[in-house]
């Protein structure tokens, strides 16, 4: 079962079934769908920076620096603005790909 999937502006994807977070392409992130601790699907989007710390998070430059200042290995991806029509198509796909509740 997919635990997370990254959707890119060129309409490609990368999920945990294809490899660990550090192997995913770094740029052009539009949205990341993932399951949280309650096994509920979340959509993380609209951010400049995305990072993985047990779950995916997104934020601004200060959030990124806060994450980078903590001990341990880091995984950071970068968002990119795209046109509204392309964004809506990708968001619709992300909203329908993974069920709202993950498998137990």
User: Tens-of-pLDDT digits for all 104 residues of the chain?
Assistant: 899 999 999 999 999 999 999 999 999 999 999 999 999 999 999 999 999 999 999 999 999 999 999 999 999 999 999 999 999 999 999 999 988 887 65
List the chain domain ranges: 4-97
User: How crowded is the C-beta side of 67, counted as CA atoms within 13 Å?
Assistant: 21
Give the integer Cα–Cα distance in Å for 101 and 23: 26
The Cα–Cα gap between 81 and 98 comes to 23
């Amino acid at each position: 079962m997919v635990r997370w999937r990254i959707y890119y502006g060129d309409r490609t994807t990368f999920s945990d079934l294809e490899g660990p977070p550090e192997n995913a392409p770094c740029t052009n992130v539009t949205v990341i769908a993932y399951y949280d601790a309650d096994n509920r699907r979340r959509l993380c989007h609209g951010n400049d920076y995305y990072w993985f710390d047990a779950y995916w998070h997104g934020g601004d430059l200060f959030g990124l620096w806060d994450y980078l200042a903590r001990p341990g290995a880091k995984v950071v991806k970068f968002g990119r603005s795209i046109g509204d029509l392309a964004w809506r198509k990708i968001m619709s796909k992300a909203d329908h790909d993974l069920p709202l509740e993950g498998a137990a």
